[in-house]
Amino acid sequence: MYWQHKAFAINILNRIPFGRRGYLLAQKLLGTTRVNPRRDLQRAAELIEMIREAGQTIEGSECYEIGTGWHPFTPLAFYLAGARRIVSVDVNPWLSLNSALQTIHSVDPHLEWFTQICQLDRARVFERYQRLVATPKADSLRELLGRFHCEYIYPGDARHTGLPDRSMDFVISSNVLEHIPPTILRDIAAEGCRILKPGGLFVHRFNPGDHYANDDPSIGTGNFLQFSELEWKSYGAGLAYHNRLRCSQFSELFAKVGLIPLIEKQRVDPTVLEALRNGTLQPHGDFADLSPEDLAADYMWYAGLQPHGTPQPLPTSPQDTDIPSAVDEPARSVSICG
């Protein structure tokens, strides 16, 4: 599918009544919502690995997840790793009882692998999983999620969690932050800093590349760098929103709310980097001050430390439209830097 055609279709859905329902139906027909346990457990494992790399453990922790998405793989993975409580919030109603059941049962063949890559206690992980699947059929989504310590909040606003100061060990997300406007993201980061315990971690993995490249092989992950902010609004608004922030800009935003960076890793798309260097990709002047490596990054892993003391709250941003959950993307051949 040519990316302009997809952008046009999404813009129509943005404007019509029940457009979100139409979007959900389209995603189901295209297979985007199909359960993919190996991929999504790997993503959760990357969050767990960053927490371990930062010298902390999931066991007995309380976590706040931004962006539940279609399937609750991250809450389930954190439960299996020993989390005591996972609060998961989303602005979109993608999660259902059926998709949560699919998530639980799809994990079974991958449990051994997941235990090994996360370096978890095998007996504990399998005991937790067996206890989960052995229980009678749940009558509601809330009941089912509660069995693996997950509290699902929809509709929710991660800028205003309602949680006490210093009550969470980790604030986490996967493939979400790139879909949030910068002013809202700033407020979410400040709120995350407020609810984190001193020494708690703000842990995220996200894709700053052009998501339209997932469906259109004629463009790369740097395609959207050619457009001004005004031009991009014609393609990347509403259900297709992408903030186009680069890794350095995410890092700067997190630092401004008081987070101390412990892990900042970027994955660079070599095809985009080469196009930037040989001039076949000409970024708009909005990106003139950024390095080619920063512009070519198509993934970032970040873990920031909540310093001792409660940060001062930032001014509240104007209310914005709902922000869509993360969009799936295929694996790419890339290099790691940072």
Q: What region, left, alpha or beta, does residue 62 occupy, with left being phi > 0 and alpha being psi -120 to 50 degrees?
A: beta
Say if CB 212 and CB 7 are below 8 A apart. yes
Per-residue confidence in pLDDT tens, the chain, 338 aa: 587 767 666 667 666 777 666 666 666 666 666 899 999 999 999 999 999 999 999 999 999 999 999 999 999 999 999 999 999 999 988 899 999 999 999 999 999 999 999 999 999 999 999 999 998 899 999 999 999 999 999 999 999 999 999 999 999 999 999 999 999 999 999 999 999 999 999 999 999 999 888 878 889 999 999 999 999 988 877 767 899 999 999 999 999 999 999 999 999 999 999 999 999 999 999 999 999 999 999 999 999 999 875 444 444 444 444 444 333 333 333 333 33
Using the structure block, give the residue that is written with the tokens 């991250």.
74
Concatenated DSSP letters of 249-264:
HHHHHHHHTTPEEEEE
Q: What is the pTM of this model?
A: 0.88
For 45, phi then psi, to 5°, come to: -65, -35
Of 231, 249, 227, nearest to 181 (Cα)?
249
CB atoms within 10 A of CB 224: 22
At residue 334, the pLDDT reads: 31
For residue 203, the cross-strand partners are 172, 303
At residue 28, the pLDDT reads: 63
State the DSSP H helix or E strand holding residue 134, giving kind and residue range, or none if neither. Answer: helix 122-134
Architecture of domain 3-337: 3-Layer(aba) Sandwich (3.40)
For 256, phi then psi, to 5°, come to: -65, -25
CA 256 from centroid of its chain's CA atoms: 21
CB atoms within 10 A of CB 143: 13
In angstroms, the CA 70 to CA 92 distance is 9
Structural domain boundaries of the chain?
A: 3-337
Of 314, 91, 302, 67, nearest to 191 (Cα)?
314
At residue 331, the pLDDT reads: 33
At residue 315, the pLDDT reads: 45
Write the DSSP symbol of residue 206: E
In angstroms, the CA 130 to CA 41 distance is 18
Say if CB 81 and CB 120 are below 8 A apart. yes
Using the structure block, give the residue that is written with the tokens 């997190």.
254
The residue type found at 295 is: L
Tokens representing residue 227 in the block: 């457009």
The two beta strands, 297-305 and 196-206, are antiparallel
At residue 216, the pLDDT reads: 82
In angstroms, the CA 107 to CA 20 distance is 28
